[in-house]
Amino acid sequence: MIEFDKQRLTETLAELVSIPSINPDLNPGAEGERQIAEFIAGRLRETPGIDVELQDAGNGRPNVIATVGSGSGRTLMLNGHIDTVGVAGMAAPFDPVVEDGRLYGRGSSDMKGADAVMMLLLEEIARAGDFPGRIVATFVVDEEYASIGTQAVCRDIGRWKPDAALVLEGTRLDVSIAHKGFVWATITTRGHAAHGSRYQKGIDAIAHMGRVIVELEALSKELVQRPKHRYVGPPSLHASLIRGGQELSSYPEECVLEIERRTVPGESDDQVHAEFQEILDRLAGEDPQFTATLEMGLVREPFEIAEDAEIVQIVRDQAAELLGHTPELTGGMGWMDSALLSGAGVPTAIFGPAGEGAHALEEWSDLDILHQFATVLAATSYAFCSDSR
């Protein structure tokens, strides 16, 4: 059994928090992930037996792929992201502080605590030797925006052929087996520009969009009344951004509405497209002056793995033995990279430590739970990889 040095784990997390890694797509001009990727890679290369590479995920943004173990057993992929959201309003986001069993700082909870655990796990496995299978740890960029990091991993998934994967987002030591997806879409209504006094010629694109919004609100209310998914609840919909018009004294020629539809396992983007298109077709049938177009944008699929999936059961069994209780099965409201790994054919579950304040002004990681998480993750790695089936 691997014994983790809690002080070293805390120090490693503090080092990671002290390195800014704000996602540059969320905050143009931000540092990005290169510095922290190079730190992780350099640290891991100091331990013989860990194979480390920097994988270009696009735009010069590097994933760190670290592999340890060469036994005949199975391969387990671990996934954690190294980017963070911004720090506006935070007093000292990159000056980690330990107080009352918590480490404070940007990224401490989301999700550099799990990254620190992955680093120590790789080092301890390499030092111990004789690992029964193989661990492929992926420290990925861009989870907070478009997930180009895990997409790059999935494009090369055949290189590693993982038998299962664990995404190490925070779950408070429960096992998350489902989360929602989302679909972004843009609706544009067209009017006819005219001077405000020429009501005979003007067609108001904003007023027409108002009809669309009324219909979307009705759809939103209907969605939340649908049968709830056991772990993630009902689907939902909201209007996110709107713009239109060109000046106060003119009929608006165009109005653009951007919307987000949250999907649950079993729903598809084709279904969402049909819902939106039906609204526009119906409004056009009621008014010959109504003109609107629908453009579908980014799609992220919902995720679900069976309750009795082997990787789920192994995590729960190891946690029960080490912690004295069996983790609950839960679901997540947000989207995670687990959907990409699952979509690439890898049985995937979500298991991680605890903290608070992801994306908030005060963020912290619970150090006792982080240490417990490390112990369970190590036991899970050995238990899963020792089976060569």
Helix/strand/coil for 361: coil
- In percent, how much of the chain has pLDDT > 70? 99
On whether both 271 and 325 belong to a single domain, the answer is no
On whether both 189 and 165 belong to a single domain, the answer is no
388 confidence band (pLDDT: 50, 70, 90): low
How many helices and strands in the chain, by DSSP H and E?
10, 17
Q: Are 245 and 252 in contact (CB under 8 A)?
A: yes
On whether both 145 and 217 belong to a single domain, the answer is no
| CA 203 – CA 191 distance, rounded (Å) | 5
On whether both 226 and 150 belong to a single domain, the answer is no
**226 Cβ neighbours under 8 A, 6+ residues apart:** 234, 235
Q: What is the pLDDT of residue 372?
A: 98
Please give the single-letter amino acid code of residue 181.
Answer: G
**Residue 344 covered by a domain:** yes
Instruction: Answer with the one of 274, 300, 326 that is the final residue of a domain.
Output: 300
Q: What is the pLDDT of residue 65?
A: 99
Indicate the average pLDDT of the chain: 96
On whether both 203 and 292 belong to a single domain, the answer is yes
Number of residues that this document lists for the chain: 389
On whether both 186 and 171 belong to a single domain, the answer is no
Query: Where is 381: in which H helix or E strand?
Result: helix 367-385
pLDDT digits (tens, 9 = 90+) for 46-56: 999 999 999 99
**Residue 272 covered by a domain:** yes
135-to-70, 71, 165 alpha-carbon distances in Å: 9, 10, 10
If one counts the domains in the chain, the total is 2
Return the half-sphere exposure (C-beta side, CA atoms, 13 A cut-off) of residue 126: 20
On whether both 165 and 311 belong to a single domain, the answer is yes
14 confidence band (pLDDT: 50, 70, 90): very high
Q: Phi-psi region for residue 172, left (φ > 0), alpha (ψ -120 to 50) or beta?
A: left
70 confidence band (pLDDT: 50, 70, 90): confident
Is a pLDDT exceeding 90 seen at residue 290? yes
Q: Are 326 and 319 in contact (CB under 8 A)?
A: yes
On whether both 197 and 345 belong to a single domain, the answer is no
**What domain range includes position 238?**
181-300
CA dihedral 152, 156, 157, 159 (to 10 degrees): -150
On whether both 133 and 235 belong to a single domain, the answer is no
pLDDT digits (tens, 9 = 90+) for 178-229: 999 999 999 999 999 999 898 889 999 999 999 999 999 999 999 999 999 9
**371 Cβ neighbours under 8 A, 6+ residues apart:** 4, 6, 9
For 206-255, give the DSSP string: HHHHHHHHHHHHHHHHHHTTSPPBTTTB--EEEEEEEEE-S-TTB--SEE
Instruction: Answer with the one of 259, 274, 300 that is the final residue of a domain.
Output: 300
Is a pLDDT exceeding 70 seen at residue 289? yes
Is a pLDDT exceeding 90 seen at residue 63? yes
| CA 224 – CA 285 distance, rounded (Å) | 27
**Residue 1 covered by a domain:** no
Give residue for tokens 């009324």.
214
334: buried, middle or exposed (CB in 10 Å: 19+, 13-18, 0-12)? exposed
Q: Phi-psi region for residue 373, left (φ > 0), alpha (ψ -120 to 50) or beta?
A: alpha
282-to-19, 128, 209, 223, 274 alpha-carbon distances in Å: 53, 67, 14, 19, 12
The three-point CA angle 140-146-147 to 5° equals 25
Q: What is the pLDDT of residue 71?
A: 87
On whether both 147 and 230 belong to a single domain, the answer is no
Please give the single-letter amino acid code of residue 359.
Answer: H
**Residue 147 covered by a domain:** yes
**pTM > 0.75: yes or no:** yes
- Mean pLDDT, rounded, for 369-376: 98
Supply the DSSP symbol for 203.
B
On whether both 86 and 111 belong to a single domain, the answer is yes
Instruction: Answer with the one of 282, 300, 318 that is the final residue of a domain.
Output: 300
Which tokens in the block code for residue 253?
């020629």
Q: How many CB atoms lie within 10 A of CB 268?
A: 14
Which tokens in the block code for residue 204?
């108001």
- Mean pLDDT, rounded, for 38-61: 97
Residue 334, domain CATH: 3.40.630.10
Is a pLDDT exceeding 90 seen at residue 245? yes
On whether both 209 and 138 belong to a single domain, the answer is no
381 confidence band (pLDDT: 50, 70, 90): very high
Which residue in 174, 60, 170, 154 sits closest to 112, CA to CA? 170
| CA 39 – CA 305 distance, rounded (Å) | 34
Which tokens in the block code for residue 323?
């912690």
Which tokens in the block code for residue 291?
């003109």
- Mean pLDDT, rounded, for 316-323: 98
Greatest CA separation found in the chain? 83
Please give the single-letter amino acid code of residue 386.
Answer: S
pLDDT digits (tens, 9 = 90+) for 110-134: 999 999 999 999 999 999 988 999 9
- What's 187-204 look like in SS3? EEEECECCECCCCCCCEC
Which residue in 379, 13, 341, 367 sits closest to 161, CA to CA? 341
